Structure 1
């Protein structure tokens, strides 16, 4: 199944942005390079294509995006690639840079807290909104880290809850976890795997297919959408839901090179802010839309979709209660974060608010409008990201 998401009709604010661009006068059209370290059929590249179409539409063709999937700059090189201007914008996975973006990565690891609440189905939409909102408005240390890397921060996206996507392994109890090799993309997942007797293997999501096919991995901790986005449906024979069960909200969808940003007009910066609301929403909601669809498809193809037993779920929650108390100290010791508890407490309040804000969301456009209204429309393009 090929995933294609097109831009929908422009809403009122998007149309207003288009009017702003057209009224701005005879400024020369500008094309920006956008790098995404995944293949062209991945969810990320498809969202990037929709973002490019959207930017062309709202700018009246005056500010366009050229998408480079799996080329120009790789996922592992995206941080310095944006910093050094090898790409104008890019999709960056924060855990590749634990020290450079320590505060943002710390916030991302707090997603485990969601496992202590009743599932809503919109955890990713809330988490991406809360991450972006808090970093822009309540975490000066976070913004300092982006400035130090010559980035302009443009918000986070989030996956849907991660599952155990397994080959030749079935997991429905704690005993089944012993010795199983899990793809774990961040230190929080590494700690969880090792706590329950598994083996954590840190590698990029794009490498999971080959690693499982070659017997390097038994299971990949990824989202249901990756069954199609990364073609894992071809090799996976069992899926355990709710383990690990938390979203991954540590990726920035469209950070901008700071030098480039400084040379843009105020109108162009505002358009990129509007575009950031859109691409964050597009990636995040696409994960949500594909979750149920892909799990149903997996069942139809004979994949065993498993609900873990009650003992396992209780153990996971006990583990989370302990881990959220430890993670702040880990980041203080390893990366020098000085107010970890204060940041976590403030962030939880923001996240609670966002759980309510996204409750009625039903589409990419709905979510993009909320991200714009609640966050990006309040950013001053004259001062934001400028020394």
Structure 2
């Protein structure tokens, strides 16, 4: 098997022999996040890393919240309107059920012994990337069916309650309208006697400002990435949990097939660097927002979930793993849900060890390369 870290000499020879005089190729990268957001920052890191790793042969032009919005991304990549897109698979439940099941299995983090809130997103993003590439042929088949190729996942911090008034006790949630972005959060809301509401990421601000929803279940940094900082007054952490793992740079399959091995390697290396940048920005951003709240520099106040809400959430999670598996089997025909949960538990356990001593995006990117991408056969992957 050809390894990514063994291709440099061979790919360089091919380049010198056949493409030395070619003009630089430019790929269009669309994402439904606004300029200045973490995804926008990561996209620019990606573009620069791709340019450097390809020796200037391959360039990326970024389109923040313009060429495609979040709901248009899957079709936009499939049609070739964009060569690369940041794909939020939960917005397309019937197209990516195996991938979404793995993501929603993130509730297992609430069952892990001795696991603090810190770095949970970094942990799960890496574990899920490893799972998709090495353990989930069904995930890759559903990507292929939509004419795209997975590169690397990047992750939010754990999801919290971001509200226009305090929702701290279990009783505070009764009949509260909760914006959700996946079936786990919908089931959790119903179990807490709240009302789940489906609103796309690009419509959250309007829904919150008009009182259509009381809370957004979302990672705290994304409250500010999507411009809701002036509306959210109270943030409750510790519940409901769950991590959103996005495919940072999903590549149109025809675009991928038309790239040389050197350019494919440049894309994977760039995606690893950018995914690490975004995941670490989420982690560091959460800590910065806590500090700004403490100093009164932002409107929102942070609350720890009350024992009544924590206990209810843990009781829910203990039974919901089986519900999750049954839901995906009955709704989407996913027959191997138990195996997915077991594989994700194993990957989480493995990556808890890998992350010891990791403190920077460079550290994390190197781990992606060493522990996952070094085993990718670039001649056959995504074909």
Common fold by TM > 0.5 = yes
Say yes or no: does 1:31 pair with 2:26: yes
RMSD: 2.0
Which residue of structure 1 aligns with residue 159 of structure 2?
Answer: 162
What are structure 1's unaligned runs of at least 5 residues? 1-12
The reply to whether residue 67 of structure 1 matches residue 62 of structure 2 is yes
> Which one of 230, 233, 241 corresponds to residue 237 of structure 1?
233
Partner of 1:179: 175
Unaligned runs of 5+ in 2: none
Cα–Cα, structure 1 residues 17 and 240, in superposed 2: closer, same or farther, change >3 Å? Answer: farther
Q: Secondary structure at the match of 1:64?
A: strand
Distance 1:363-1:96 versus aligned 2 partners, 3 A rule: same
Given candidates 357, 366, 370, the residue that maps to 2:367 is: 370
Whether the aligned pair in 2 keeps the contact of 1:211 and 1:217 (CA below 8 Å) is yes
Q: What is the CA distance between 1:204 and its match in structure 2?
A: 2.4
Residues 297 and 54 of structure 1, relative CA distance in 2, 3 Å threshold: same
State the Cα distance separating 1:24 from its structure 2 match.
3.2
Higher relative contact order (CA 8 A, sep 6+): 2
User: Deviation at 1:57?
Assistant: 2.3
Query: With structure 2 as the length reference, what TM-score do the two structures score?
Result: 0.92
**Distance change (3 Å), C-alpha of 1:360 and 1:20:** farther
Report the Cα offset of residue 19 of structure 1.
12
Task: Trace 1:204-219 onto structure 2 (pairs within 5 A).
Answer: 204-219=200-215
Trace 1:41-80 onto structure 2 (pairs within 5 A). 41-80=36-75
Name which of structure 1's ranges 20-29 and 134-143 shifts more when overlaid on structure 2.
20-29
2:186 is the alignment partner of 1:195: no
Which residue of 2 is the match for residue 260 of structure 1?
255
Q: Deviations over 1:239-268 (max 9, x none)?
A: 11112133222x211011111111111111
Task: Report the counterpart of residue 132 of structure 2 in structure 1.
Answer: 135
Q: Secondary structure at the match of 2:220?
A: coil
Q: 8 Å contact 1:152–1:261 — kept in the other structure?
A: yes
* Offset at residue 73 of structure 1 (A): 1.8
Structure 2 counterparts to residues 218-297 of structure 1, below 5 A: 218-249=214-245, 251-297=246-292
Q: CA deviation at 1:238?
A: 0.9
CA distance in 2, matches of 1:153, 1:67: 18
Given the superposition, is the C-alpha separation of residues 217 and 310 from structure 1 closer, same or farther in structure 2, using an over 3 Å criterion?
same
What SS does the corresponding residue of 1:51 show, helix, strand or coil? helix
Deviation by residue 1:31-69 (Cα, 9 ceiling, x = unmatched) = 100001111122111211121122222223211110001
Residue 384 (str. 1) matches residue 367 (str. 2): no
Measure, in 2, the Cα distance between the counterparts of 1:70 and 1:224: 20
Q: Partners of 1:110 and 1:281 in 2: how far apart?
A: 21
Alpha-carbon separation, structure 2, partners of 1:22 and 1:231: 48
Work out the number of aligned pairs and report it: 371
> CA offsets per residue over residues 160-195 of structure 1, 9 Å max, x none?
11111111x211110000111111111111111111
Task: Work out the CA distance in 2 between the residues paired with 1:373 and 1:96.
Answer: 31
After the TM superposition, which of the residue ranges 87-96 and 109-118 deviates more from structure 2? 109-118
Pick the aligned partner of 1:357 from 338, 354, 357. Answer: 354
Contact 2:26–2:58 at 8 Å: present in 1 too?
yes
Q: Measure how far apart 1:302 and its partner are.
A: 4.9
Distance 1:141 1:238 in 2: 40
Superposed displacement of residue 23, structure 1: 8.9
- Is this contact kept in 2: 1:233–1:298, CA < 8 A? no
CA deviation map 1:278-304 (0-9, x unaligned): 122122111111001012213313532
The 3-state SS of whatever aligns with 1:232 is coil
In structure 2, the partner of 1:7 is none
SS at structure 2 position matched to 1:65? strand
